[in-house]
Amino acid sequence: MLLKDIEDLSGLAMFKSVLIVPCRFCPAASMAVRRNQPYFEVLTNFMKTASYEELIDDIQAKLESMGIKADIFRSKIIHQFVVCMWTVKRRKKLLKYAENYEAVMVLGCEAAVQMVYDSVESADCKVFQGMRSEGIMTVNPSFQRPCNISLELSKLIPLVHRAEDPVPWSSL
């Protein structure tokens, strides 16, 4: 998926606390493609995408500048990087964290947002979509020295969003 971050965070201004839940797959690839930066720099960032980490930090800083306590729900194990494929145990851990926040902002595709919504439904917090899918991308991976992996957008198959579709979670 090619995702675009939602820049207007004013919809979160009414909350005192926001938990940022980043997916580390499609959003990271999207930021690398959009900014024409490496997807992985194995020797310096291992399994993190620098341009995506910058986006996450920027969002956290913007929320904090609005007077909102903002934390990031971090995943350290590779199989926990892709939100739409989280285990039941991981979802329960998210629910436990989310109970301490008024809102949850998901950085991922609509499937990731739905997964988070389903996971925290019993918590007293609102779920917000922090990114929007623009289409499905095909990429050409390339390898540079010393150990960088980059992605070049080959083709974008656009998605058509229909406003009349019911969405159980909020959209910024």
Q: Is 139 exposed, middle or buried (0-12, 13-18, 19+ CB in 10 A)?
A: middle
Q: Which amino acid is at 79?
A: H
CA torsion through residues 149, 46, 74, 5, sign: negative
- Whether 170 has a pLDDT exceeding 70, the answer reads no
Give tens-digit pLDDT for 37-78. Answer: 887 776 666 667 888 889 999 999 999 999 999 999 987 766
pLDDT band per the 50, 70, 90 thresholds, residue 153: confident
CB 72 within 8 A of CB 18: no
Which CATH number does the domain housing residue 82 bear?
Answer: 3.40.50
Strand ranges of the sheet holding 170-171, from the earlier edge strand across to the other edge: 69-72, 17-22, 103-107, 126-129, 170-171
φ/ψ of 109, rounded to 5, equals: -75, 180
Domain limits for position 81: 2-171
Give tens-digit pLDDT for 107-152. Answer: 999 999 999 999 998 888 999 999 988 888 888 888 877 777 778 8
What's the pTM?
0.84
Identify the pLDDT of residue 169.
53
Identify the pLDDT of residue 163.
54
Better-scored residue on pLDDT, 19 or 75: 19
> In the chain, how many domains are there?
1
Identify the pLDDT of residue 79.
57
Identify the pLDDT of residue 46.
65
How many Cβ atoms sit within 10 Å of the Cβ of residue 140? 10
Give tens-digit pLDDT for 95-104. Answer: 999 999 999 9
